[in-house]
Amino acid sequence: MPAAAVKPTLEEIVPEGGGVGESRREVSGLPLPSLTFTRELLRSFPHTKRVGSYLIGKMINKGSFAKVMEGLHIGTGEKTLETENSYYMAMELCAGGDLMDRICDRRRLGEREVRRYTRQILSAVEHLHRHGIVHDLKIENFLLDEHNNIKIVFGLSNTLKPDSLSPELLNTQCGSPAYAAPELLAHRKYGSKVDVWSGVSMFAMLTGTLPFTVEPFNIKQLHQKMVNKDISNIPGDISKLLLEPDPDKRPSIREAMEERWISEGYAKKPLHTLSHKNLCPEDLNSSVLAHMTETLGYSLSEVINAVTSNRPSAVMASYHLLLNKFNR
């Protein structure tokens, strides 16, 4: 059985007068840019301890059940947050901001823009369903990147077997009442069609208001409004279709993606989800591999196996974070 790789210490990673992981490789005689994380980046990060590959810094917040600490991932230079049970790594900046803010600024969005966002949301949710994830979809969970594309951020969600996405399977109550499907408010078992109720978000984008509201708030009255379809001025057939209170009559995500309203203006761009193609060893970036093996102490086979198998792990996450830095 091969011996486990010994990971280098912080002093070995940050030698005096040197950068972290400075490496240069040539492929077919062409030099590749180096991956450099400066000594100052790690030295200047105020921290009280090191845990594994992380430097643990100041406390950001403290709740009733956990502390939130700032951290720095030594191998990639990425900032992290630490609680008593988990590490959270900031993966991506959504430079376009919050979709809710955009709606509030404009009061409502145009139909063409809403159709584009809805297509992206349905495609993303169909991808989640294929991987056994049922989400809590609401406007607050939608961010925009620098190219004005929707990014879904996770709030509450539930999981089930990918090949069992049928109604009446789950019973854990999750979701915000104003956005939750009627079967959730009624404490009934539910399936993936609760996410089709995302028609609420589409309605909000088109009108600047929520389709079902009760003042003062009363969850039973809210549920009754949904069941009675007590809603006026429904914008577009697709919104009415997605806001079907009976999950047996409500379309699946796949069926919703094939609706005429969704395809309007996209005749040559049928809506579908992207199927992920696993990387081959020859697809991997030589500079990233060099940094991970020479500086972070991983074996080449360990990195290649982790990335090409596409299984979530610290090794695969480090590779892709380093690759993003390399491409930037």
Let me know: does 286 contact 252? Beta carbons within 8 Å.
no
Let me know: does 130 contact 109? Beta carbons within 8 Å.
no
Let me know: does 308 contact 320? Beta carbons within 8 Å.
no
Neighbours of 94 (CB within 10 A): 16
Residue 230 annotated in active site: no
Signed CA dihedral, 202, 135, 164, 187: sign only: negative
User: Which residues have a Cβ under 8 Å from the Cβ of 236 and sit 6 or more positions away?
Assistant: 111, 202, 206, 261
Task: Identify residue 102 by its one-letter amino acid code.
Answer: R
Q: How far apart are CA 101 and CA 266, in angstroms?
A: 27
**Using CB atoms within 10 A of its CB, is residue 194 exposed (0-12), middle (13-18) or buried (19+)?**
buried
Task: Identify residue 272 by its one-letter amino acid code.
Answer: H
Sole residue written with tokens 């980046």: 41
Task: Identify residue 66 by its one-letter amino acid code.
Answer: A
Q: Which of 98, 101, 105, 136 is catalytic?
A: 136
Give the tokens for residue 30: 């062409």
Please compute, for residue 68, the number of CA atoms within 13 A of its CA located in the half-sphere on the CB side.
10
Give the tokens for residue 190: 């539910």
Pairing of strands 97-98, 133-135: unpaired
Signed CA dihedral, 241, 247, 253, 258: sign only: negative
Query: What are φ and ψ of residue 128, in 5° steps?
Result: -60, -45
- Active site amino acids: 136
